[in-house]
C-alpha cells in the first residue's frame, strides 16, 4: 500500500508533464484550413479597403431627355442597382479610369446602356442620355 501511495503521485506528475510537452501545430477551429483560400480572402479585403478608403472618387451627374428616367448601375455581383431618377444628384464613382456601366430607361422609350469613366484629374462627370421613342404597337410587322 505504501508503494501505491508513492507511485500514484509520480505517475500523475509524469502524465501531466507528458501532456504539457505535446505541441499543437494548428489552432483550434482550423479544421480544413486552406491557406490559398485565406490568401484570396485577405487580398479581397485589402482591395475592398483600398477602394473604400484610398481610391480617389468623383461625382457624376446623369441627365436624360426625357427627364425622370430610371438610372441603374451594374455592380460587381452582376446586378442592376437603381440609383435614382434623372437628373441625378451626384453619383459617387471610382476616379481611377475604371469604367462603370449605367442604364437609363423610361416607359415608352428604348433603354440606353453606357460606360462612364472618370479620371483622377477630373472632379465630376456630366453624362447626357438621349432616349429614343419605342415604335407604337400598330407599327410592328409580324411575318407569317
pLDDT digits (tens, 9 = 90+) for 63-107: 998 899 999 989 888 899 998 898 887 788 878 888 889 999 999
How many whole angstroms separate alpha carbon 38 and alpha carbon 42?
Answer: 6
More confidently predicted of 9 and 116 = 116
| pTM value > 0.75 | no
Can you give the residue ranges of every domain in the chain?
Answer: 65-134
**Angle, alpha carbons 30-47-114 (nearest 5°):** 135
Is residue 62 predicted with pLDDT exceeding 70? yes
CA distance 70 to 66: 11
**Segment 16-35, tens digit of pLDDT:** 655 554 554 556 666 677 78
**pLDDT score of 26:** 56
Amino acid at each position: 500500500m505504501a508503494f501505491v501511495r508513492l507511485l500514484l503521485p509520480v505517475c500523475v506528475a509524469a502524465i501531466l508533464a507528458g501532456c504539457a510537452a505535446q505541441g499543437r501545430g494548428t489552432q483550434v477551429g482550423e479544421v480544413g484550413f486552406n491557406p490559398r483560400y485565406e490568401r484570396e480572402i485577405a487580398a479581397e479585403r485589402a482591395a475592398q479597403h483600398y477602394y473604400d478608403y484610398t481610391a480617389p472618387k468623383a461625382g457624376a451627374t446623369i441627365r436624360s431627355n426625357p427627364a425622370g428616367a430610371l438610372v441603374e448601375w451594374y455592380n460587381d455581383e452582376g446586378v442592376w442597382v437603381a440609383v435614382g431618377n434623372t437628373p441625378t444628384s451626384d453619383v459617387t464613382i471610382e476616379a481611377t479610369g475604371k469604367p462603370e456601366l449605367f442604364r437609363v430607361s423610361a416607359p415608352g422609350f428604348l433603354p440606353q446602356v453606357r460606360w462612364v469613366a472618370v479620371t483622377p484629374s477630373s472632379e465630376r462627370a456630366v453624362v447626357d442620355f438621349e432616349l429614343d421613342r419605342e415604335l407604337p404597337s400598330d407599327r410592328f410587322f409580324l411575318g407569317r
